[in-house]
Amino acid sequence: TEHQHVRYNPLRDDWVLVSAHRVKRPWQGQLEKPPPEDVPRWDPKNPLCPGATRANGEVNPKYEGTFVFPNDFPALQPDAPEPDDNDHPLFRAASARGVCKVMCFHPWSDLTLPLMSLPEIRAVVDAWAELATELGASYPWVQIFENKGAMMGCSNPHPHCQVWASSFLPNEASLEDRSQRQHLSQHGVPMLLEYAEQEARRKERLVVENADWLVVVPYWATWPYETLLLPRRHVCRLQDLSDSERDSLASIMQRLLIKYDNLFEVSFPYSMGWHGAPTGSYLAEDCRHWHLHAHYYPPLLRSATVRKFMVGYEMLAQAQRDLTPEQAAERLRSLPEVHYKKRAE
């Protein structure tokens, strides 16, 4: 806990430098603005609200639950020309096609997932699984991800996520596919299933758990309060979860996100996303090496206004963190599971 060392990340086949003593250094750098507390519940000018008009002129229905629509500014489109042939191996390009969707979690703009009810969160889980099935029928990778908070590049406070389906395996998916395949070949058990069993037994990095799921600060975590959400049963894809596992997933997500908000008593920013076995043509292949999981990457380090920057050494050498995963897990684990905004109720 006091001396620097490096830890191996078997999912990405790389290393992270842990320098726990650096969190004690004085900070005179940038301070972030806390998120606004006065977000209106409904705003006709907000393009994600029920009944609002979006940039392309489409009018949203007056939805009362989840709402999915095509991204008006998609990074991927289903039709695109093939790149020109390259005359040198150092100048390679390949086709990229896909579909981008936006999914609103709730009709109210002043809610976030930890403040939603369990049935409302369960509806989000079901909508994720439906999209994974629908888009995964033809696309090899379906990336469900949520950027929460302006600090993580979110331009709209309305509770929502994005779903991008691509005709190719992105870099992180390819890395995880290769590393998990190699681990199963060498050890005869899926990497993250074995890892979940180890963390459940050791408990030093455990944050929350229930009968079907556990959340840990991974041994190789890069971001200060990064967590990994893992099913206890071997599951390859989100759409493979049973009804009871979806219920318990909604519960453990709510518990984790309440702890996140309680850490600095602020709507906690993060980027999160699901990783599971590839789809499309991979549905006919053996993907037992994959184990479903979700990554949470929050940037805050010391307070609601001091974040971790990935610059300098992190960009030019390797990832580095300023407190140990065990310290982060202990702090998260000790937090109450009643949201700070509801303690006075």
Name the burial class of residue 28, with classes exposed (0-12), middle (13-18) and buried (19+) by CB atoms within 10 angstroms of its CB.
exposed
For CA atoms 114, 119, 123, 126, give the dihedral sign.
positive
23: confidence class by pLDDT, cuts 50, 70, 90: low
Q: Is 24 annotated as a binding residue?
A: yes
Residue 46 has pLDDT above 60, yes or no: yes
Note whether residue 6 is domain-resident: no
Number of domains, the chain: 1
Residue 286 has pLDDT above 90, yes or no: yes
Amino acid making up residue 264: F
CA neighbor of 97 nearest in space, from 115, 116, 82, 112: 82
Q: Is 49 annotated as a binding residue?
A: no
Note whether residue 246 is domain-resident: yes
pLDDT tens, residue by residue, 65-112: 999 999 999 999 999 888 888 889 999 999 999 999 999 999 999 999
Q: Is 178 annotated as a binding residue?
A: no
Note whether residue 5 is domain-resident: no
Any residues with CB less than 8 A from the CB of 63 and at least 6 apart, and which? 50, 104, 107
160 is catalytic: yes
The confidence score (pLDDT) of residue 87 equals 85
Note whether residue 75 is domain-resident: yes
Instruction: Please give the order of strands across the beta sheet that includes 67-70.
Output: 67-70, 98-104, 160-166, 141-148, 270-275, 293-297, 227-231, 213-216, 206-209
Note whether residue 204 is domain-resident: yes
Residue 35 has pLDDT above 90, yes or no: no
CA neighbor of 248 nearest in space, from 224, 288, 215, 216: 215
The residue range of the domain holding 193 is 39-83+91-335
Q: Which of 160, 183, 289, 291 is catalytic?
A: 160
Q: Is 308 annotated as a binding residue?
A: yes
Q: Is 154 annotated as a binding residue?
A: yes
Distance of CA 161 to the CA centre of its chain: 10
Helix axes 243-264, 118-136, angle to 10 degrees: 120
Note whether residue 33 is domain-resident: no
Note whether residue 16 is domain-resident: no
The confidence score (pLDDT) of residue 81 equals 86
Note whether residue 231 is domain-resident: yes
343: confidence class by pLDDT, cuts 50, 70, 90: confident
Q: Report the mean per-residue pLDDT for the chain.
A: 94
CB 213 within 8 A of CB 294: no
Amino acid making up residue 325: P
The confidence score (pLDDT) of residue 155 equals 83
Look up the CATH number of the domain holding residue 48: 3.30.428.10
